[in-house]
Chain A
Amino acid sequence: MQSSTSARRGRTWLQVAPLTITLVLFVVIPVVMIAAVSFFSFDMVIGAQPDFIFGNFIEVLTDRNTLNLYGTTLKYAALVWAITLFVGFWIAYFLAFHIRNLLIAIGLFLLCTVPFWTSNVIRMISWIPLLGKQGLINQALMGIGIVDEPVEWLLFSDFAVVLCYVNLFTLFMIVPIFNSMARIDRSLIEAARDAGAGRLRIMTEVIVPLSKSGIALGSIFVVALTMGDFFVVKIMGGGRSANVVSAMFDDIGILNYPHAGAQAVVLLIVVTLIVTAIMRVVDVRKELAQAR
């Protein structure tokens, strides 16, 4: 018996070794690298130099412009979270509770997820011919006579940035919420209805509580993705908007890795705090571990 357990342990170790090595090499060490570089010094002429200074962090945390970047990043995250939660919840609800044929429900669910397997950059630039000054939406608005002049704020604005995020990230809300809703025992809803609960009470006392882990998981994805984005802000913001990661992108453009590193460390701390807060409210581990 002893030898068979140790053989099994050996097999397990072999099975997880490739995953462990890859994650250590390409996730753990890079994050440590970033943290180390954030203490380096930077000079325009000689570039980044190994050092141990807190200057980069002081700069990030006291400079008004960088603090504004965190404000913008959080503003986008909050807006996108609220919109994707609303849209994602109702789409998932529709698929899980209103479509009676399982195959059709799965088909429609796949329809919502297919764009995930295509390029985000392409999905982003797809908005340009629609939102531009001579774009389709302005043509339509002027055609109907709602406006006389093309609406300027459709493209290259905060509006375009948020619209694009919602377009790209809503499916990260739909998938986990649909997953939890699909697992809700239908007889619970019958029971609630028999006990005299109305539509609203079934929603607030049965469906929402039982979809909580899906909602939390979706929220973590959407917040992390929005806060980690830079290319939507870069292109759709038209150079007028910036967030933390787009500023990091500019930093590495001039090879100022230490400043980018300090930005990254602060951002990672903020994201981790938000994710931990969400996990505090809802036990996401249960949702993720359930499959195991």
Chain B
Amino acid sequence: MAGGGGRTTHKKREWTFYVLAVFFTLFVIFLYGPMFSIYVLSFQGPNAGLTFPMQGFSLHWFEALFGQARTGDIGGAFGRSIPLAIIVLGLTVVISVAAGLAFRRRFLGSSPLFYTAVASLIVPGLVLSIGIGQGFTVLGLRTGWWSSALGAHLSWTLPFGLLIMFAVLARFNPALEEAARDQGATNVQVLRYVVIPILFPGIIAVALFGFTLSYDEFPRSWVTVGTRNTLPLEIWTMVTNITSPALYALATVTTAISFIIIIVSLGAIAMIQRRRSGQSRRKSAKA
């Protein structure tokens, strides 16, 4: 793909390419088709049903979502899910960057810690949720989105953050750090002016995982969130109770937020990378 590209460009495509290209296209349609069908259906007129064909076109169901309180506490759910996702984002970045830096060397307990992180990905979310809920009950603490659910979400985002940091740090040259230290930089300065700027695209990726995985997390929130629902739980109660396109409207709004976050993050990463390759090209041109 990357390597022998120049040599193979003139070769004719094999038949397997066309078969797999069709397969890939069908897969992408399979992946996105259903999602887009409910976005389209959320823009129907007031007396619409849950399936195609579309009955008129309006923003009625979006108004229904936020206008009257009859569909539940949607505004409140947004008001909890977004702050929670932002807190998870911050903690995921700080904790995984710090741990990632430490994991470059073996230390006492590094492998049990690593395996606990991996196990945290494999344990079913609802099981962890029940365990955390029971733990809070035993200690006489009340579950809430900012306490027990926050921890539950971190158990899901931290392993991803850690694995991304491993991948990013594999390409990080420790000599840069040493050089800065030899020049008399303090630990804080090394972190601030050397490590963080170099790792920045990876840190954005960790942040993207932290935010979106928390924002969409359902099983781990089920027992831990307390009496007030986060957004995925609100959607869940709508799935089981409400059979109007308001459900689709909520899905559209939620996914729009996710997509904005994804586009902003990936765009930022691409921009930084491009500026960097531009800089290094200019430097090498000068030299």
Contacts and interface: CB of A to CB of B under 8 A. Distances in A.
Interface of A: 9, 11-16, 18-20, 22-34, 37, 87, 90-91, 93-102, 105, 108, 110-112, 114-115, 117-123, 125-130, 132, 134-136, 139, 167, 170-171, 182, 186-187, 190, 199, 220-221, 224, 227-231, 235, 245, 248-249, 252, 257, 260-261, 264, 267-268, 271, 275, 288, 290-292
B209 to A, nearest CB: 8
B134 A130 contact: no
B128 interface: yes
Nearest to A132: B51
A114 B24 CA distance: 15
B282 to A, nearest CB: 21
Contacts of A221: 121
Given A16-B107, A91-B24, A129-B37, A119 B254 contact: yes
B185 interface: no
A176 to B, nearest CB: 11
B68 interface: no
B218 A136 contact: no
22 contacts: A14-B98, A15-B99, A16-B99, A19-B117, A23-B120, A30-B131, A30-B132, A31-B123, A33-B131, A33-B138, A34-B130, A122-B235, A123-B34, A125-B247, A126-B34, A126-B38, A130-B34, A190-B4, A231-B236, A252-B223, A257-B130, A267-B124
Contact of B20 (A93, A120, A125, A231): A93
B196 interface: no
Nearest to B96: A19
Given A33-B134, A228-B127, A290 B21 contact: no
Contact-residue size bin, chain B (C-beta under 8 Å from the other chain): 35 or more
Given A23-B116, A27-B120, A31-B128, A12 B105 contact: yes
Interface centre among B23, B130, B254, B258 (most CB of A within 10 A): B130
- For the complex of A and B, the 9 pairs showing the least CB-CB separation, nearest first, are A30-B131, A228-B124, A291-B166, A126-B34, A15-B102, A26-B151, A119-B216, A94-B20, A19-B99
Contacts, number: 272
Given A114-B262, A122-B235, A19 B105 contact: no
B126 interface: yes
Interface in B207-235: 208-209, 212-213, 215-216, 218-219, 222-223, 232, 235
B138 to A, nearest CB: 7
Given A29-B135, A228-B125, 5 more contacts: A12-B102, A117-B213, A123-B35, A170-B31, A249-B126
Contacts of A33: 131-132, 134-135, 138
Given A33-B134, A100-B5, A122 B127 contact: no
B128 A30 contact: yes
Contacts of B219: 228-231
B218 A110 contact: no
Interface centre among A14, A15, A190, A290 (most CB of B within 10 A): A15
A292 B170 contact: yes
Nearest to A87: B27
Given A30-B132, A112-B31, A132 B1 contact: no
Contact of A23 (B16, B35, B38, B155): B155
Nearest to A114: B262
Contacts of B103: 16, 292
A31 B109 CA distance: 20
A234 to B, nearest CB: 8
A30 B107 CA distance: 26
B95 interface: yes
A18 B134 CA distance: 23
B89 interface: no
A26 B98 contact: no
B208 A117 contact: yes
B180 to A, nearest CB: 15
B20 A98 contact: yes
Contacts of B123: 27, 31, 228, 268, 271
Interface string B99-113: 101111101011001
A169 B166 CA distance: 23
Nearest to B135: A33
